[in-house]
Amino acid sequence: GVSGTSIGKNITLDSATRIELSCRLDNKYSHLKSLQVTWKRGNETIRHINKTETSWSIQLRILDNSKLGSYSCTLKGEEEIRAMFHLQVPKIEGREKPIVSYEGDTAVMICKSFGYTPIAWTWYITNGSEQIAINDTLLADKYVINRISANVTHLKILKLTKEDDGVYWCEAAFELGKSKGKLKLKVLSLMVPLKPFLAIVAEVVILVTIVFLCEMYSKKKEKRAEDEKEFDQVEQLKSEESNGLENSSARHRKI
């Protein structure tokens, strides 16, 4: 590694085994002499068994999860170099993004264990700060748990309601311990997908109403104009008839 830094490696174990952890000094640091090498598990110092001029190893017998955790070897001299080993049970793949479904529908959640076969699977639902195991035998009308393969499990939730909204966990049990995957379920009301449609319908209704009112106003305006024109024509005729009578009377008087 590089002086003054720490490098790390994850080691996955699912069953009891013997393992050897080894730190080997890179060739470019072979000039370093009188190195003090310390192995630790957490803060507990461990004696290394195998040793050469450029490598130091420890052997572990992992029988249960009490031996899992972080181990480190530190080389001190003119410079200090550290390597970390993280012994852990297999990680379970859940789902980062929420699963979105609607009331009355069915939701299916999936958990997988890649490369390692769990002894058993368990599903939990979060209730406040508590995780409650799901028993699909007692609640057969609500939950169905299927182990599709040795490495894959499905949780099917039937007839979704708003109460099903929340956080779920799948737990895989291995010989050396347990590992969990997290999933989120979001249950939406049936009105949610209808809102955009209803908004469009409302806009169409408003638009049609405006067009109808404009047409009504336009027709009324045209009718008013026609009535005024007809009134003007009648008045003009009356005026012409009146002028005609006056002229006739005048002619009779002259005679």
Q: Are 76 and 152 in the same domain?
A: no
Q: What is the pLDDT of residues 132-166, one digit of tens each?
A: 999 988 899 999 999 888 899 999 999 999 999 99
Look at residues 92, 95, 137, 134 and name the one whose alpha carbon lies nearest to residue 117. Answer: 92
Per-residue pLDDT reduced to its tens digit, 20-76: 999 887 777 666 666 788 899 988 888 877 777 778 899 999 999 899 999 999 888
Domain extent, residue 31, equals: 17-87
Residue at which a domain ends, from 32, 64, 87: 87
- 254 has a pLDDT exceeding 70: no
- Select the more confidently predicted residue: 218 or 113: 113
- Tell me the three state secondary structure of residue 80: strand
97 and 176 both lie in a single domain: yes
Whether 78 maps to a domain, the answer reads yes
Number of structural domains in the chain? 2
Q: Which of 19, 16, 13, 17 is nearest to 116 (CA)?
A: 13
Which residue, of 167, 189, 211, is where some domain finishes? 189
In a domain, 212, yes or no: no
**Is 233 contained in some domain?**
no
Is 227 a residue whose pLDDT tops 90? no
Asked whether residue 219 is domain-assigned, the answer is no
Tell me, yes or no, whether 231 lies in a domain: no
Residues 96 and 81 occupy one common structural domain:
no
Do 178 and 160 fall into the same domain?
yes
Q: Find the mean pLDDT for residues 95-120.
A: 91
pTM exceeds 0.85, yes or no = no
Residue 29: CATH number of its domain:
2.60.40.10
Cα 13 from chain centre? 29
Q: How far is CA 71 from CA 20, 46, 57, 89, in A?
A: 11, 9, 12, 15
